[in-house]
Amino acid sequence: MWSNYFVQPDDDGRIGVAGVAQGGGLGGMKGGRVQRRSQKISDSLEGKIKLAFFVAIVGVTLTVLGVGTEFWVELAQSKNFSGNQTCQMAHYGLWKGCIHTLWVADIDPERTSCGPAELPGETNCTYFKFFTSGENAVIFKKTTDRKLNLAAAVLALLSLTMMVMGSICIAMSLNKGVLFFLKPASFCFILSGVLVLLSILIFHQSVLSLLSTDHSVPLHHELSWSVACVGSAGAILIFGGFLFIILSLPFSPWQKCWPHKNNTT
């Protein structure tokens, strides 16, 4: 009875229609599942995202190293300026500055200015009072520009904030297995790189403003390794942000630019 019911259709073809409808429903459900699975991150794409995230983490590490150190610029007197056996030089960053008193005999004879800071001598480091009492710092009778120094520090902090937000977006993208969070992450990393580079430019302007306040003490100045770290970090962060943009595209840009020739007929 039941076999005849399923095998033999009615005259109006209702069972056949129902069978097709059921098959279509199952096919639609399977198609929906396949479509949902296609929105997930594949294993190869996940590996590429982790590699791009490693590049961004290198930029974040260099930024933290540069922002946290005080070797942004070195100011050095002439080693014979004081006319005795010692000379002074200073270096400072966003948060504090240090003054070194070095022995002239330890300095390279071919060097005209005092330094470098790695030589043994007496060191006195103090934190700037820009953020507490709002006072300017005086280095070798030259006065810093509080507004420019504050602007450079604020941009560096905003850059670090954007890096944290970008890292959170990447972590959520890998955890949920979706590509949606890659675009905001790329925006955060690119913006953080731009802010870091702007911080360097404003800091350099603050150094030039410092040197122009008093010309009684001639100083030799040069940007130090902390600025090199931060500048490299800015370029790496921008590069990492563009990598996330490329990975978030629904198609491969390489196949669009250089499509493979199809030799089959």
CA 28 – CA 35 distance, rounded (Å): 10
127 closest CA partner among 68, 66, 87: 68
pLDDT for position 178: 80
In a domain, 226, yes or no: yes
Distance separating alpha carbons of residues 67 and 99, to the nearest angstrom: 19
Q: So what's the pLDDT on residue 16?
A: 47
- 57: in domain: yes
63 within domain boundaries:
yes
Positive or negative, the CA dihedral 140, 146, 152, 154 is: positive
Asked if residue 31 belongs to a domain, the reply is no
Number of domains in the chain: 1
In a domain, 121, yes or no: yes
The whole-number pLDDT of residue 155 equals: 96
CATH number at residue 216: 1.20.140.150
Cis, peptide link before residue 116, omega less than 30° from 0: yes
Local confidence pLDDT in tens for the 265 residues of the chain = 444 444 444 544 444 434 434 444 444 444 444 344 334 677 788 888 999 999 999 999 999 999 999 999 999 988 888 778 888 899 999 999 999 999 988 888 888 888 888 888 888 999 998 888 888 888 888 888 889 999 999 999 999 999 999 999 999 988 888 888 899 999 999 999 999 999 999 999 999 999 988 777 788 889 999 999 999 999 999 999 999 999 888 756 555 555 554 444 4
- The range of the structural domain enclosing residue 190 comes to 43-249
Task: Answer yes or no: is 214 within a domain.
Answer: yes
CB 49 within 8 A of CB 57: no
In a domain, 260, yes or no: no
